[in-house]
Amino acid sequence: MQSDVIVFVSGISADYEGEAGDAGAAGYGGFASGDRTTMQLPLVQIELLKELKKTGRPLIIVNMSGSVMSFEWESRNADALLQAWYGGQAAGDAIVDVLFGHYNPAGRMPLTTYKSDNDLPPFENYSMFGRTYRYFKGEPRYPFGYGLSYTTFAYSDMQCAGEIHTGDTVRVTVTVSNTGYCDGDEVVQLYVVHPQDGRKQIPLCALKGFKRIHLKRGESTRVSFTLAPEELALTETDGNLMEKSGQVTLFVGGGQPNYVAGVSSPLTIKGAPYQVW
């Protein structure tokens, strides 16, 4: 083998993912009413990747799929992993630009990447509990909102009211700095964290705002969000969206709380319950 680097394009197609009854492919591991029964890549791809790894060459995986894969072997053995989804006619040029450093990527995962098929409840269970970043209590492979860059960013000087009344809006402002050596984009994400009281319907955290900004190396800027009452409310068992008194935590960073560095501030909400709709 004369190549210096191996770029392996993995993934699945519409033959493997679709609505119930639409998908079906022999040898992939089975389907349950059209749903995939595993989040792994097809075994033939994993076996080929293992053989390529034995060459000792750097291994880059570019994965194309419309849904998340578990990347169990891949995350531990690949030198780089790029989730490309299903690109259009310019996908090849875009991927090459990222791999060769002509473009500094700033994509963020819109889904949670789980480590194992066993992390999720059965398909027949339609409850959201245990699913998505809002209710999954396990350790994800790549969390919702995750993404890498060729530069680094830092967050500081978060400013917001410490106390409001139900029905009020609250403004949140934070300084974002490019602390690396490249110009690049950052996706600034604002999450609201409600205290857990044993009820399944309370999210662990919830994304309530995001802004994509461009910063030259060494540059800083102020980023602001405004939270309306409905973004501080929770859905009751009767389906009504209700804002109640109590304390929440506001977090701003390049990803979810507990997974990336960022800044946070407590917010106390006072007053009578406020029904948004």
Residues 66-84: tens digit of each pLDDT: 988 999 999 999 999 999 9
- Give the model's pLDDT for residue 27: 46
Within-domain flag for 129:
no
- Listing from the earlier edge strand, what are the strands of the sheet with 59-64? 6-11, 59-64, 80-83
Of 103, 128, 162, the last residue of a domain is 103
Q: Tell me: pLDDT of 125 over 80.
A: no
Q: Domain count of the chain?
A: 2
Task: Give the domain CATH number at 58.
Answer: 3.40.50.1700
pLDDT more than 70, % of the chain: 92
Within-domain flag for 115:
no
Within-domain flag for 112:
no
Mean pLDDT of 160-177: 97
- Give the model's pLDDT for residue 2: 79
75 and 180, same domain (yes or no) = no
Pairing outcome for strands 163-165 and 262-270: parallel
269 and 159, same domain (yes or no) = yes
DSSP letter assigned to residue 77: H
DSSP-derived secondary structure for 237-272: TTS-EEE-SEEEEEEEESS-TTTS-EEEEEEEEESS
Q: Tell me: pLDDT of 153 over 90.
A: yes
Within-domain flag for 15:
yes
- Give the model's pLDDT for residue 276: 87
- Give the model's pLDDT for residue 30: 54
Phi, psi of 75 (to 5 degrees): -65, -25
Strand positions, DSSP E, the chain: 6-11, 31-32, 35-36, 59-64, 80-83, 153-159, 163-165, 170-178, 184-193, 206-215, 220-227, 234-235, 241-243, 246-253, 262-270, 274-275
168 and 271, same domain (yes or no) = yes
159 and 247, same domain (yes or no) = yes
- Give the model's pLDDT for residue 121: 86
Mean pLDDT of 131-146: 95
Task: Give the domain CATH number at 215.
Answer: 2.60.40.10
pLDDT digits (tens, 9 = 90+) for 7-27: 999 999 877 776 654 555 544
Residue 227 and residue 164 in contact, taking contact as beta carbons nearer than 8 Å? no
Within-domain flag for 117:
no
- Listing from the earlier edge strand, what are the strands of the sheet with 163-165? 163-165, 262-270, 246-253, 184-193, 206-215
Within-domain flag for 186:
yes
Confidence of residue 232 (pLDDT cuts 50, 70, 90): very high
157 and 271, same domain (yes or no) = yes
Within-domain flag for 132:
no
Residues making up the chain, counted from first to last: 277
- Give the model's pLDDT for residue 140: 96
Mean pLDDT of 54-59: 96
Domain that holds residue 39: 6-103
Of 103, 122, 137, the last residue of a domain is 103
- Give the model's pLDDT for residue 26: 44
Q: Give the lowest-confidence range in 115-124, 146-155, 201-210, 218-227.
A: 115-124
Within-domain flag for 140:
no
Taking the complete model, does pTM exceed 0.75, yes or no? Answer: yes
163 and 271, same domain (yes or no) = yes
Mean pLDDT of 204-228: 97
Give CA 176 to chain center in angstroms: 20
pLDDT digits (tens, 9 = 90+) for 84-117: 999 889 999 999 999 999 999 999 999 999 999 9
At a CB cut-off of 8 Å and minimum separation 6, what does 159 contact? 172, 173, 174
11 and 69, same domain (yes or no) = yes
Pairing outcome for strands 80-83 and 59-64: parallel
- Give the model's pLDDT for residue 122: 82
Closest CA to 106 of 245, 32, 5, 211: 211
The overall average pLDDT reported for the chain is 91
Q: Give the lowest-confidence range in 52-61, 124-133, 166-175.
A: 124-133
Mean pLDDT of 195-217: 91
192 and 270, same domain (yes or no) = yes
170 and 228, same domain (yes or no) = yes
DSSP-derived secondary structure for 83-108: E--S--TTHHHHHHHHHTTSS-----
86 and 176, same domain (yes or no) = no
Q: Tell me: pLDDT of 190 over 80.
A: yes
